[in-house]
Structure 1
Amino acid sequence: MKRALLIMAAVTTLAAPAIADEALAKAKNCMACHAVDKKLVGPSYKDVAKKYAGDAKAVDLLATRIVKGSEVGKGNWGAVPMPPNPQVSEADAKKLAAWVLSIK
């Protein structure tokens, strides 16, 4: 019984950040242009995660693009650049980037 409770607690703890970060993405209006598994205005989060898999600098790069936009990286995902989101704090941008990169 104790083992089952420990396993359940561990799974719940691991799942909670993903849920919280999806909620953050919704709260910051990211989901207006992005979806987890399909292209909208911007690429799907799964495609972003796949493109940057294994890149140690990806969290910082994506966090910068979240806040400042993609003018620097214009053309990475098509003709529509990502607009700046100055209302997103650096800490929240890093949380969002880490969440996106964790999506399989």
Structure 2
Amino acid sequence: MHKLSLLALSLFLLAGSAAHASEAIVKKARCVACHTIDQKRVGPAYQDVAAKYKGDAKAPARLFDKVRAGGAGVWGDIPMLAHPADKISDDDLKAAIAWILALH
């Protein structure tokens, strides 16, 4: 039983540190200049993005492409600028998107 408790605690701590790391990625990439977790700023709140794409298995890939290329029209008239790989790596972008989609 003790081993099971230690395993559960380890998984909890890993999940928490992964979430913290992904939030740090979002801050480092300066996504927070236009987005917040729970309020619309220039772009939508991350919670609104998570709600919109809840249950959509294709959302991570679609959002990855959208962030890389930029775009407009989904959340209003203000365009989102492209975010190339020299500004945020593929792995960091995937982690950030997973963190955002988990906010629902």
CA distance in 1 between counterparts of 2:31 and 2:88 reads 10
Aligned residues: 101
CA distance in 1 between counterparts of 2:66 and 2:49 reads 12
Residue 42 of structure 2 corresponds to residue 44 of structure 1: no
Residue number in structure 2 paired with 1:77:
75
RMSD: 1.5
Q: How does 1:87-98 map to 2 (within 5 A)?
A: 87-98=87-98
CA distance in 1 between counterparts of 2:100 and 2:37 reads 8
User: How far did 1:7 drift?
Assistant: 2.9
CA distance in 1 between counterparts of 2:14 and 2:93 reads 21
1:64 aligned partner, one-letter code: D
Contact kept? 1:67, 1:88, Cα under 8 Å = no
- What is the TM-score of this pair, normalised by structure 1? 0.87
SS at match of 2:36: coil
Identity %: 42
Residue number in structure 1 paired with 2:99:
99
Residue number in structure 2 paired with 1:54:
55
CA distance in 2 between counterparts of 1:30 and 1:56 reads 23
CA distance in 1 between counterparts of 2:100 and 2:26 reads 10
Structure 2 unaligned segments of length 5 or more: list them: none
1:82 aligned partner, one-letter code: M
- What is the TM-score of this pair, normalised by structure 2? 0.87
SS at match of 2:65: helix
